[in-house]
Structure formats: structure tokens, C-alpha cells
Amino acid sequence: MASSRSVDLISDKPNRWNAKGEPTIYLSGDPALALIEAGRHPEDLEDRARLFEVDVLIPLAVDIRDRAVRAALGLPDDVTWVLDRERTQAAARSLRHSGMCDALLVPSAGALDQEERFNLVVFADDRARIPRLVANLQKAGELVMRAARPELA
């Protein structure tokens, strides 16, 4: 990533919580989880990937980690359902198009046994709003790929 603007964090590539063409930003709740997630998606990494700290100003978010929220949405109580991409994409699509939230707090597929850890999935359909929702990017580190062996710089 050559820039450090929040709109540059938007991806419309398919992932766990979005289908192709659905602009989304994925943020990890802590730096260690960001590294776990990077390790789960090495195909998305460039030779040098930057780790940022950001200010998040999301007016409305739905916490999918909460059992009562999952029950209200008709989702299973067992968190392993997040390993089913069709189901996670359908749940996110429904919430995205409902207009009831700007983002989802979701369990990390890389840390399902740690309920307190999360990723934030920001719906980025309105690019003009993104600098207000995700702001003040500060470089916190860099991941350097060397001969298929990632190292933290």
C-alpha cells in the first residue's frame, strides 16, 4: 500500500464478511490479531505490508460476538458458524443493506477460542464517509516478506 489514507484500506475482494464487489474494510482489535489475520491471508500481502493504528468512529455497529445478538439475527449460538463463508457473507449482506449499522464486530476465525478478540468489518459502500469513520492512520509497524518467510520489521 503506497498511501496511508483510510480509503486505501477498502477492499472489494471477497472475504469472510463480504462478497466480491462489496467494499469493506477489515480492522483487527489488536496488533497481535492483525498479525494472525495477515498470516491467514498471505496472498493479500505485498512484499512490504504496513500495520496501522487507527481511530475508529463508528456510529452504529452490531456485535456478532454477542449471543443475544446472534439469537436475534437467527444465527447459531456456537461461534464456529463463522467458518462458513456463505453464512457469514449472507449475514453481513443482510445487515449492510438494512441500514441499521455501519460495521460489525466479529470473532476472528484465527482466534475463535478467544471471545474477547475481534475484527471490525466496516461497510465502505459510501467512500466519502470513510475518512470520518476510520481516521488518523499512524504507522505502527511493517511486515516484510522475504523468500516466503514473513518477518516483522
How does pLDDT run across 63-89, given as a tens digit for each residue?
Answer: 999 999 999 999 999 989 999 999 999
Domain ranges of the chain: 6-145
Average pLDDT estimate for 113-118: 90
Element spanning 115, H or E? none
Quick one: 18 exposed, middle or buried, by C-beta within 10 A (0-12, 13-18, 19+)? buried
For 147, left (φ over 0), alpha (ψ -120 to 50), or beta? left
Whole-number pLDDT of residue 140: 87
| DSSP bridge partners of 149 | 146
Question: Do 105 and 61 touch, CB atoms closer than 8 A?
Answer: yes
Whole-number pLDDT of residue 147: 58
